Amino acid sequence: MAEIKNIAPSEHHDYQGSKMGMWLFIFTELFLFGGLFLVYAVFRTQYSADFHKAAEETNTFIGTLNTVVLLISSMTVAMSITAIQSNQKGRAIRLLLVTLVLASVFMVNKYFEWGHKFELKLYPGSEVLTNLPKGELLFFGLYFMMTGLHAIHVLVGMILLTVTIFRIKSGHIHTGNFSMIENSGLYWHLVDLIWIFLFPMMYLIT
């Protein structure tokens, strides 16, 4: 039986295992947002006219722009994994930097979008908002909570990608060991995936 290898975690990095762990973590994130989607679904059926009206307040242009930005950033992350796998370190880093820039563009847009809402006094607890019809009030509650939570995830994703860049530079991530970049890539795609559903719910269903 000498040929049977003992798999001690510290000695051997389990590529499949760490990817599976990342998927499981993604599931918990999906269900975290899933709870909010349930709330949206319930109130949407109860107040469809109000939701319809409130969704017209949101800026479809910025929403679409941000969707495009996130989709492109998803692609650049996916490409950076291809780059690492084909041993193009510099290109991988550049692609990740592009991703970070796109993520920042997303956040800046978000900042102006929220800022505009605040100018209109449409923030939770404000008098204007509280006097709106119930459904519109709930819509804006969901809008702030869902896009806010999503923005936090964008920030976390940016941190992860930054760490990844440094680890590529330091040589920890390379053609033979790329589970870190793959996992932070998966996380970034999750951010994109959630946005894909948030986008029609918040900007399009008018």
Partner 1 sequence: MSTEKHHISTYMSHGVVLTILLALTALSVGMAELHFGAFSVAVALLVASVKGTTVLTYFMHLKYESMFTRIMVGGVFVIYVLVIVLLFFDYLFR
Partner 2 sequence: MSHSETHPQVSYLEYQGKYKGILGWLTTTDHKRIALLYMYCIVVFFFVAAILGLTMSIEKMRPGQDIMNAQTYNGLFTVHGIIMIFMIVIPGLAAVFGNFALPLLIGARDVAFPKLNLFSWYLYVIGAILAVLSQLLKGGAPDTGWTFYVPYSAGSSTNVIWALTAAFILGFSNILTGLNFIVTIHRMRAPGMTWFKMPLFPWSLYATAWIQVLATPIVGITLLMVIAERVLHIGFFDPALGGDPVLFQHLFWIYSHPAVYIMILPAMGVITEIFPTFSQKPVFGYGAIAISSLAIAFVGYFVWGHHMFTSGISYWSKWFFSFLTFIVAVPSAIKVFNWISTMYGGSIQMRPPLLYAISFVFLFMIGGFTGLFLGALATNVQLHDTTFVVAHFHYIIFGGMGFAFFAAIHYWYPKMYGKMYSDRWAYIAWGFTFVGFNLLYFPQFIIGVQGMPRRYFDYLPQFQWGHMLSGFGAFILLIGLILMAWNLIYHVKRGAIAPANPWKGVTLEWQIASPPTLENFEEIPVIKHNPYWFGTEEEIKREKKSVTRNT
Which residues contribute to the site for partner 2 (CB under 8 A)?
A: 1-2, 4, 6-11, 14, 16-18, 20-21, 24-25, 27-36, 38-39, 42-43, 46-47, 124-125, 130, 134-135, 137-138, 141-142, 144-145
CA distance 97 to 86: 18
The angle at the Cα of 21, spanning 177 to 91, to the nearest 5 degrees, equals: 35
Q: Is 87 in the site for partner 1 (CB under 8 A)?
A: no
Residue 48 neighbours by CB under 8 Å, 6+ apart: 135
Q: Is 13 in the site for partner 1 (CB under 8 A)?
A: yes
Residue 199 neighbours by CB under 8 Å, 6+ apart: 63, 64, 66, 67
CA distance 139 to 49: 11
CB of 130 or CB of 170, closer to partner 2: 130
What token pair was written down for 90? 């510099």
Closest distance to partner 2 from the beta carbon of 197 (Å): 15
Closest distance to partner 2 from the beta carbon of 13 (Å): 11
Taking alpha carbons only, the member of 38, 54, 47 closest to residue 205 is: 54
Question: Scanning residues 149 to 178, which ones bind partner 1 (CB under 8 A)?
Answer: 176-177
Cα atoms in the Cβ-side hemisphere of radius 13 Å centred on 81:
17
Q: For the chain, how many helices (H) and strands (E)?
A: 7, 0
**Which of partner 1, partner 2, none does residue 71 bind (CB under 5 to 8 Å by kind)?**
partner 1
CB of 87 or CB of 133, closer to partner 2: 133
Stretch that binds partner 1, among 38-46, 109-117, 141-149, 153-161 (CB under 8 A): 38-46
Specify whether the CB–CB gap between 42 and 201 falls below 8 A: no
Residues within the interface to partner 1 (CB under 8 A): 13, 15-16, 19-20, 23, 27, 30-31, 34, 38, 41-42, 44-46, 48, 60, 64, 67-68, 71-72, 74-75, 77-79, 81-82, 85-86, 176-177, 182, 186, 189, 192-193, 196-197, 199-201, 204-206
